[in-house]
Amino acid sequence: MSDSKKELLAGRVALVTGGGQGIGEACGRILAEYGAKVILADLNEKTAQAVADSLKAQGSEAAAMMFDVADFPHIREKVAQARSIFGRIDILVNVAGIAGTFSIEEITFESWDRMMDIDLKSMFFVSQAVFEIMKEQRYGKMVHMSSLAGQRGGRSADASYAIAKAGALNLSMGFALAGAEYHITSNAVCPGNILTPMGKTMSWSHVDPKTYIPLGRYGCAEDIAKAVLFYASDLSDYVTGDSMKVNGGIYM
């Protein structure tokens, strides 16, 4: 890897939630590839550690930590722990989340609360804790994972998921407004049908993508990670409160 490639994020520290697999793993890998020190936070510390070990074997600086983003009383403690690893947090990538496939009639109080807790409430409070650190630094890049469902409603995902991901778009704009004076940007990425381990459980994954996706293929985690890289780098310094559709042209 060329030294010039690593200069893009040299000296930056990235915290990636849900970093043990899928989109989170891909984000961690591309940020490390471009020079960031990466903290992979995941409920499954074993998978996060495997990714971190792989990155370190390739010459990157990486660490793993167990982080239950829905353990609200301990979020600030866990963010402080993450900060202590490399001394700062310059980039936050909020990926941790779940999907749902309940019909409107099947959504319960319990399933609704679980969805909102993991896909929206946790995103806000993790961001809030990191925001305080970024304010002190007077610099930060926040990237939040929304979804195609958050833009056009749930088709294969359920309504509670679509609502949570729509909330993520407004959450992102809220932090963009609050962070502007501190040189903190906040943007969202809206994946379409992406063949991650989670995506492979969805009904659309069994349909030929050439029949309905203009670019003729399903997305992969790396497609999303490339969008995250843009928002996480100084290439996007004048972009905040934005959202990027990465969906192969399904929704224009």
Catalytically active residues are 161
**What is d(CA 204, CA 175) in angstroms, rounded to the nearest whole number?**
33
Question: Going along the chain, which residue ranges are E strands?
Answer: 13-17, 37-42, 62-66, 91-94, 140-145, 184-191, 243-246
- List the beta bridge partners of residue 42: 66
φ, ψ (nearest 5 deg) of residue 89: -140, 110
Strand order through the sheet with 37-42: 62-66, 37-42, 13-17, 91-94, 140-145, 184-191, 243-246
